[in-house]
Amino acid sequence: MRSQNLLPRLVLVVAVLISFVGCRVDPPIPPTEGTGPPTGTLRLTMIPEWEGEPLQFYTEYRNVSDYRTTVEVLKMYWSDVRLIDGLESTPVSTVELFNLQSGPLIREWKVAPGSWTGLRTGLGVPEVLNHSNPADYDANHPMSINNSMHWGWAAGYIFVMFDGRYDPDPASTAPFVTAYSIHTGMDTCYTEMDLLPVLPITVAKDSITNVIVHVAVDAFFHSNFGTIDLATENWSHGTNFPLALKFTHNVVQSFSIE
């Protein structure tokens, strides 16, 4: 009699257990250690600066034309980032988006140990990436449509987004009213650049190597390629391409590495 009552209960308990096992989400399998190639960490700190001091967004500066100037937006893509030594190189990152709105940014990458003379990167993204569909990237990917760095009309990405305000009257104390907005893009603006520190970049296994990249934002307005006069050169959104090219050259010249 007792065994007759127990059997259905036993069946139920087993069924419940089977059901829960069916719903169980397997925990991720931890990576196996010691089987991959040895790696070190390359840590890059990018610091936007104005005349050698950390840039303060929305703060009034004087630019090369002695215009009252503020910076409100500074975002840029780096792509095909590599450590280089002559013709040799090792990949670091396919694409990175630097939004410097909140000041210095830090990126860390696992790379093969070695000694390298510098860092090579594209400013912007190369053609294949440039014309990829931003809807295909996860929301957290640097090329996601969420980052507002895509020109839908041209099916291409904005490489550098630089916005702010200016006033040609250096003596004025009035609030800023005139905006500048220089957005570069299109394949022609894609530029590779080499950042070569004085000392080699040495990456050792299981350790962190620090490099600091300074961005002289005040130099965006002038270089050996030419000066940008915001009074007449303040807008480029795929149009005014000569300005986009001059600005791109100036930005490339603005980087230094230590």
How far is residue 199 CA from its own chain's centroid?
24
Answer yes or no whether residue 131 interacts with another protein by CB under 8 A: yes
- Angle in degrees, CA 77, 163, 214, rounded to 5: 50
Interface segment toward another protein; rule CB under 8 A; list 119-127, 149-157, 171-179, 223-231: 149-157
In order of 168, 209, 210, the CA distances from 198 in angstroms are 38, 15, 14
Compare residues 29 and 139 and give the one whose CB is closer to another protein: 139
Residues in contact with another protein, counted by CB under 8 A, come to a total of 28
For residues 69 to 108, the per-residue mask of contacts with another protein, x marking binding by CB under 8 A and - elsewhere, is ----------------------------------------
One of 172, 188, 202, 227 touching another protein (CB under 8 A): 188
Cβ 66 vs Cβ 170: under 8 Å:
yes
Strands 235-237 and 178-185: parallel
Answer yes or no whether residue 27 interacts with another protein by CB under 8 A: no
Answer yes or no whether residue 128 interacts with another protein by CB under 8 A: no
Distance from C-alpha of 244 to C-alpha of 250, rounded to nearest angstrom:
10
Residue 7 CB, shortest distance to another protein, in Å, is: 10
Buried-state track 80-115, b at ≥16 Cβ within 10 A, e below 16:
bbbbbeeeeeeebbebbbbebeeebbebebebebee
Which residues form the interface with another protein (CB under 8 A)?
Answer: 8, 11-12, 15-16, 19-20, 22-23, 131, 133-136, 139, 144-146, 150, 152-155, 186, 188, 238-239, 241
